[in-house]
Amino acid sequence: MAEIERIAEVAGYLWTKGWAERNGGNISVNVTSLMSEEEKTLPALCPAIDLLTPMEVLSNHIFYVTGTGKRMRYVAQDPFANGSLIRISSDGKSYEIIAEQPIVPTSELPSHLMMHNYLRGLGRDIKVVVHTHPTDLIGMTHCKPFLDSEKLTRTLWSMIPESRIIVPKGVGIVPYEIPGTLALAEATIRQLEKHDVVFWEKHGILAVGEDIIECFDAIDTLSKSAQIYMNARMCGYEPEGMTDQQLDDLVPAFGL
């Protein structure tokens, strides 16, 4: 499936960008619409695994998910030795691993599925959830004034026009929570009401979207903005940033 190659491509970018130390980060992609009827009914490779909360909206949906403890640099090389296809049951209460090997999904699977379930429930065609650890963006969450969605968004937007254009909804922020917890997932979902990119304080970034390359591009563009900001600070000056007018002018120019 061509989509698996695109996932592997992005996993490689996350590693080469330095955003995926050890097993840092995880990816889930809804591939249901890309599967033939025959593939959708592939037999399970192991007994069904119960989900903590029912995912009714995802009934019979199929996802590629990176494996628990697996490294992005190896997902890039061999996505089916480091991740698997899972199928949600028709009652949404459990899932089965259907291909290609019984690789157990990421520990963040419950939170990824909660996000897919929530966004699809709103009628949005969100197929991708990507979580990764970009050094520069995490760095900004160590600075108190940036733990404010408006302030952080305005700073990142104002470094280059592309940030305003590519991340038009700005970024959300979730105060520090223990990785992999329900509390983190629930707080993230609240941010996804308004944003497609969410910062997790002192931990990482989560992005949702229809397309995995676009999710990567959004994070990559924000990372570029953060680097410009930090490089300026390291050179001893506060970057001027684009003016409000310059930012506002992009709205009609790019139909935002």
Site residues for ligand 2HA per CB under 6 A: 23-26, 106, 108, 131, 179-180
Question: Rounded to an integer, what distance in angstroms lies between the CA atom of residue 118 and that of residue 231?
Answer: 38
Determine if the peptide bond prior to 100 is cis (ω within 30°): yes
Residue 108 annotated to the active site: yes
Beta strands in the chain (DSSP E): 26-30, 49-50, 62-66, 83-88, 94-99, 128-132, 171-174, 197-200, 204-209
Amino acid at 109: L
Taking CB within 5 to 8 Å according to partner kind, which of Zn ion, ligand 2HA, none is near residue 108?
A: ligand 2HA
- b/e map of 135-147 (b: 16 or more CB within 10 Å)? ebbbebbeeeebb
Least gap, CB of 204 to ligand 2HA (angstroms): 6
Q: Please, which residue, 110 or 204, has the CB nearer to Zn ion?
A: 204
Contact range with Zn ion by CB under 5 A, out of 8-16, 75-83, 202-210, 217-225: 202-210
Q: Please, which residue, 122 or 183, has the CB nearer to ligand 2HA?
A: 183
Pairing of strands 94-99, 128-132: unpaired
Considering only CA atoms, which of 137, 118, 114, 110 is closest in space to residue 198? Answer: 137
Q: Please, which residue, 24 or 54, has the CB nearer to Zn ion?
A: 24
Residue of closest CB approach to Zn ion: 204
Residue span 204-223 as binding mask against Zn ion, x where in contact by CB under 5 A, dash where not: x-------------------
Least gap, CB of 69 to ligand 2HA (angstroms): 8
Give the contacts of 106 (CB within 8 A, at least 6 positions apart). Answer: 26, 28, 65, 66, 67, 68, 70, 112
Least gap, CB of 205 to Zn ion (angstroms): 9
Question: Rounded to an integer, what distance in angstroms lies between the CA atom of residue 223 and that of residue 138?
Answer: 10
Please report, as residue ranges, which positions from 51 to 70 form the binding site for Zn ion (by CB under 5 A): none
Catalytic site residue from 3, 96, 108, 177: 108
Least gap, CB of 134 to ligand 2HA (angstroms): 12
What are the residue numbers of the active site? 108
By the criterion CB under 5 A, which residues form the site for Zn ion?
A: 204
